[in-house]
Amino acid sequence: MSQIKQLIILNRQGKGIKTIARILDISKNTVKTYLFKLDKLLTGKRAEKMTIEALLNLDGPELHALFHPGNPSYKDSRYEYFKANLGYYQKELEKTGVTRMLLWEEYRQSNTDGYSYSQFCFHLDQQQTAKGKPAMVLDHKPAEKLFIDFAGKTIPYIDRETGEVISCQLFVACLPYSDYAFAIAVPSQSISDFLYALSRCLEDLGGVPQLLVPDNLKAAVIKADQYEPDINQALEDFANHYGTAVLPARVRKPRDKALVENQVKILYSRVYAKLRNMQFFDMTSLNQAIRLKVRSHNQTRMQKRPYCREEKFIADEKALLAELPVERFELRSYSVLKVAKNNHIYLSADKHYYSVPHTLMGCTVKVAYTRSMVYIYHEGSKVAVHSRNFKLGAYSTVKEHLCSHHRHYRDRSPDYYRNLSAKISKVLYEYVCLLFEQKRYPEQVYRSCDGLLALARKSDTEALEKACKTAMENGVFSYRFIKNIIENHMEDESLQNNITNLPRHQNVRGKSYYSNQQSINFK
Return the minimum-mean-pLDDT range out of 331-340, 354-363, 395-404.
395-404
DSSP string across 383-415 = EEEEE----TT-EE--GGGS-HHHHHHHH--HH
Q: Which of 64-68, 107-111, 492-496 has the highest mean pLDDT?
A: 107-111
* Positive/negative CA dihedral, 122, 126, 132, 135: positive
- Average of pLDDT values for 305-333? 90
CA dihedral 376, 58, 214, 256 (to 10 degrees): 140
Residue 389 has pLDDT above 80, yes or no: yes
The answer to whether 429 and 418 have CB atoms below 8 angstroms apart is yes
Phi and psi angles of residue 208, each rounded to the nearest 5 degrees, phi first: -125, 130
Strand order in the sheet with 373-378: 333-338, 364-369, 373-378, 381-387
What 11-17 contacts at long range (C-beta under 8 Å, 24+ apart), as own/partner pairs, is: 11/35, 11/38, 12/52, 13/210, 13/245
**Average pLDDT of the chain to the nearest whole number:** 82
Query: ∠ CA(237), CA(240), CA(243), 5° rounding?
Result: 150
CA dist., res. 324 & res. 44, Å (int): 32
- Residue 130 is predicted with a pLDDT of 37
Three-state DSSP class for residue 124: helix
Interaxial angle between packed helices 86-93 and 100-110, expressed in degrees from 0 to 180 and rounded to the nearest 10: 150
Q: Which segments of 155-307 are extended strands (E)?
A: 155-158, 165-175, 180-186, 211-213, 245-246
Q: Which of 139-143, 293-297, 476-480 has the highest mean pLDDT?
A: 293-297
DSSP string across 137-199 = ---PPTTSEEEEEE-SS-EEEE-TTT--EEEEEEEEEEETTTTEEEEEEES-SSHHHHHHHHH
Residue 313 has pLDDT above 90, yes or no: yes
The answer to whether 345 and 398 have CB atoms below 8 angstroms apart is no
**pLDDT tens per residue, range 167-219:** 999 999 999 999 999 999 999 988 888 999 999 999 999 999 999 988 777 77
- Residue 311 is predicted with a pLDDT of 93
- Residue 74 is predicted with a pLDDT of 38
Residue 228 has pLDDT above 50, yes or no: no
Residue 277 has pLDDT above 60, yes or no: yes
What is the pLDDT confidence band of residue 345, given thresholds at 50, 70 and 90? very high
Q: Is residue 45 packed enough to be buried (19+ CB in 10 Å), middle (13-18) or exposed (0-12)?
A: exposed
Domain 145-320 has CATH 3.90.320.10: no
CA dist., res. 311 & res. 332, Å (int): 37
What is the pLDDT confidence band of residue 382, given thresholds at 50, 70 and 90? very high
The better pLDDT of the pair 74, 366 is held by 366
**pLDDT tens per residue, range 116-143:** 899 888 888 876 643 445 555 667 889 9
What is the pLDDT confidence band of residue 377, given thresholds at 50, 70 and 90? very high
Q: Which segments of 305-420 are extended strands (E)?
A: 333-338, 344-347, 352-355, 364-369, 373-378, 381-387, 395-396
Q: Is residue 286 packed enough to be buried (19+ CB in 10 Å), middle (13-18) or exposed (0-12)?
A: buried
Q: Which of 72-86, 200-214, 239-253, 434-448 has the highest mean pLDDT?
A: 200-214
pTM over 0.75: no
Residue 146 has pLDDT above 70, yes or no: yes
CA atoms within 13 A on the CB side of 381: 6
Residue 494 has pLDDT above 60, yes or no: no
**pLDDT tens per residue, range 448-463:** 888 888 888 888 887 8
- Residue 132 is predicted with a pLDDT of 41
How far apart are the two ends of the chain, measured CA to CA in Å?
A: 100
The closest alpha carbon to 370, from 388, 354, 382, belongs to 388
| Region of 359 on the Ramachandran plot (φ > 0 left; ψ -120 to 50 alpha; else beta) | alpha
CA dist., res. 322 & res. 313, Å (int): 14
The better pLDDT of the pair 225, 178 is held by 178
Residue 314 CB contacts under 8 Å (≥ 6 apart), including other chains: none
The answer to whether 263 and 179 have CB atoms below 8 angstroms apart is yes
- Average of pLDDT values for 71-81? 61
- Residue 515 is predicted with a pLDDT of 65
What is the pLDDT confidence band of residue 336, given thresholds at 50, 70 and 90? very high
Amino acid at 365: V
- Residue 286 is predicted with a pLDDT of 95
The closest alpha carbon to 249, from 138, 126, 128, belongs to 138
**pLDDT tens per residue, range 46-75:** 545 678 888 888 887 888 777 776 544 335
